[in-house]
A = this chain, B = another copy of it.
Amino acid sequence: MNGARALIETLAECGVELCLANPGTSEMHLVQALDQVPRMRSVLALFEGVCTGAADGYGRMTGKPAATLLHLGPGLANGIANLHNARKAGTPIINLVGNHPQFHIGYDAPLTSDIDTLASNFSCWIKSCSTADTLAKDGAEAYTASLRATPGSQGQISTLILGADAAWGDSPGPSIPNGLPSRSRIDNSQAARIAEVLRSGESCVMILEHDAARPESLEQAGKIAAKTGCRIMTGTFPARVDGGAGRIDVERMPYFPEHILASFAEVKHLILVGGQTPASFFAYRTTPSRLVPEGCQVHTLARIEEDALDALNQLAELTGAEKSEARRLQRVDMGLPSGEMSMRNMLQAVAATLPENAIVATDSGPGNAAHPVCQGAAPHSWLSLTGGSIGQGSPVATGAALACPDRRVVALLGDGGAAYTIQSLWTQAREQLNVTTVIFANRKYNILNIEYGRLGVTEVGPIAESLFDIGNPEIDWTRLSESFGVPAAKATTADEFVKLLQKANATPGPFLIQAVY
């Protein structure tokens, strides 16, 4: 058995069920191993950003790492933008990056580059000196590391950069999986201090991020809110929050700094659970980076790397909230919109047609605006753009559909962001994934228009305007989609949009709707 096969068998034994691949010559022995270990599913993508974004979507839905298979430095580089988003989401992922053997590096062949420097941008665990002897063991360690919580992260990205000689050389065989790391629990005295704050009678907001925003955690937080009167809130772009009818009613932090500060205007205590002190997404000359009003104290119940659910359980007990009834979202009969493609009608159409138990993946654009409207709709899981690197939504939707074949995935994408990684449609067609993609096609980088205005620039000159304008030429999203094998249609009225959403959501396989407005 060679190193490649021992590695793939080890990862499969650890529990890795999916490999998102875009291989090249230096990964041929790994391809051979994937052929020999069919229990790990191999899914091909035309571009590495699709592999890494799909691994993120898969990991957010399963809590388990998928593997990626990437071709040396450039292959990894193409995947970094979505690995950045995955890192911010705390998603476990294992990158397998093929490399030249060590003996070949010195010849500076065309594909030679320093891969470690690239990997250090987003990885918590990197190994690039494996031999055929150690490769399987290193794979087992990569798996464990991806599930190890470390300061600032609850899951993480392992990157195993392996020389072709480690893959083709003789191996002593697969390695036995390691025990899984457990998350550290907070001290009860810490929970007691927070309980004290909550009993103060002063205005409190509990900010729930990462695992603290997962369904079980929200249940506890909802009880505590009901009992103590504190507000509960997720971050602006949480990795995953389950919402909709019957789910816990939780606020979402606004995007712009002035709105965040307004939301905290009377607040005396911010209580962090699994997250950080609120900060501005971008820096501005006129607003602070740290978004805590004067006179407001910041407390930490649990750091990102600690066990948020256990911390909330402790706090529920200490506040006597265990039997309280959390406030839940109610289904709103919003009716089907009719008439023009106004933003309001479009969002209502998405919400009204959302299938039970759907997974919603958003990116830039109006996807975020759909979130509040969908809280009165069917129960669902909501995956946001965590790291601000647009081009995440379609790959994440692809990975979520691979993880949950029984759930419909609805990808709500801006046209600017969707253009980065549109090759994901091809993988959706190839694997016949149940994804409804909505492209909100306003033909501009609208956020830049808005941000430009926020600088105080009142007259946009012709060059600046052209740099925000992606309508010249206009992208025909239905043709683009069909070219990759995904059937598609345009919606130019709300009525058409509703019909297309209903049909797409009810039909197995992928479909794309170009929402023209």
A residues bordering B, Cβ < 8 Å? 21, 23-26, 28-29, 31-32, 34-36, 38, 42, 44, 46-47, 49, 72-75, 77-78, 80-81, 84-85, 87-88, 100-101, 103-104, 107-111, 113-114, 117-118, 120-122, 152, 164-165, 168, 237, 276-277, 279-283, 285, 289-290, 386-389, 391, 416, 419-420, 422-423, 426, 429-430, 447-448, 451-452, 455, 457, 460-464, 466-467, 469-470, 472-480, 482-485
The answer to whether B34 touches A282, judged by C-beta atoms less than 8 angstroms apart, is no
Roughly how many angstroms separate A73 CA and B117 CA in the complex, as a whole number? 13
Whether A32 touches B455, Cβ cut-off 8 Å, given contacts A24-B448, A74-B81, A467-B21, is yes
The answer to whether A107 touches B289, judged by C-beta atoms less than 8 angstroms apart, is yes
The answer to whether B285 touches A73, judged by C-beta atoms less than 8 angstroms apart, is no
Residues of chain B with a CB closer than 8 A to A72's CB: 388
Which residue of B is nearest A385, CB measured?
B110
Whether A81 touches B77, Cβ cut-off 8 Å, given contacts A26-B282, A104-B280, A483-B480, is yes
Roughly how many angstroms separate A476 CA and B488 CA in the complex, as a whole number? 14
Supply 29 A–B pairs (Cβ within 8 Å), ascending by A. A23-B467, A25-B448, A32-B452, A32-B457, A32-B464, A35-B464, A36-B461, A49-B78, A73-B80, A73-B84, A74-B80, A78-B391, A80-B80, A103-B283, A104-B289, A108-B276, A109-B280, A109-B282, A111-B282, A111-B387, A114-B121, A117-B120, A164-B283, A165-B283, A419-B423, A430-B472, A474-B485, A476-B483, A479-B479
Partner of A77, one of B84, B120, B388, B477: B84
The answer to whether B42 touches A467, judged by C-beta atoms less than 8 angstroms apart, is yes
A187 to chain B, nearest CB (A): 25
Whether A420 touches B282, Cβ cut-off 8 Å, given contacts A114-B120, A387-B74, A473-B484, is no
Roughly how many angstroms separate A86 CA and B70 CA in the complex, as a whole number? 20
Could you say which of A28, A108, A430 has the most chain B C-beta atoms within 10 Å of its C-beta? A28
Residues of chain B with a CB closer than 8 A to A290's CB: 107
A477 to chain B, nearest CB (A): 7
Partner of A419, one of B47, B420, B455, B470: B47
A348 to chain B, nearest CB (A): 28
The answer to whether A23 touches B448, judged by C-beta atoms less than 8 angstroms apart, is yes
Could you say which of A84, A283, A455, A473 has the most chain B C-beta atoms within 10 Å of its C-beta? A283
Residues of chain B with a CB closer than 8 A to A121's CB: 73, 77, 113-114, 117-118
The answer to whether A84 touches B80, judged by C-beta atoms less than 8 angstroms apart, is no
Roughly how many angstroms separate A38 CA and B464 CA in the complex, as a whole number? 10
Given contacts A25-B282, A42-B463, A419-B426, 19 further A-B contacts (CB under 8 A): A28-B452, A28-B455, A34-B463, A35-B460, A42-B466, A74-B81, A75-B81, A80-B118, A103-B289, A104-B289, A107-B289, A108-B152, A108-B279, A109-B279, A110-B281, A110-B388, A111-B387, A111-B389, A476-B483
Which residue of B is nearest A163, CB measured?
B283
Which residue of B is nearest A44, CB measured?
B467
Partner of A118, one of B118, B430, B469, B476: B118
